Amino acid sequence: MVKQKFCPQCGSKKIKWIDPNMSFWQCQKCGYRGSGVIEDGDLDKKVKEAKKMEKLQKKLMRGR
């Protein structure tokens, strides 16, 4: 069974393996580049939720 990979920065599934020799990944959505990826779907949901909360907090701070 192949595990789905997710971007650790934005939680996107649009992450590509760009250098197999060094296990280097790049996210097509946010531009993240690095060796760390998420393989747990539950963690993916938590990353996406945290990003939404971060955006909401920024909007609220701008409104003050």
Structure tokens at 36: 């760390």
Q: Which pTM was predicted?
A: 0.61
Per-residue pLDDT of the chain (64 residues; tens, 9 = 90+): 567 888 888 888 899 988 878 889 999 999 999 988 888 767 667 777 888 888 888 888 887 5
Q: What distance in Å separates the CA atoms of residue 49 and residue 14, rounded to the nearest whole number?
A: 17
Tell me what pLDDT residue 2 has: 66
Q: How many CB atoms lie under 10 A from the CB of residue 14?
A: 13
Q: Report pLDDT digits (tens) over 27-41.
A: 999 999 998 888 876
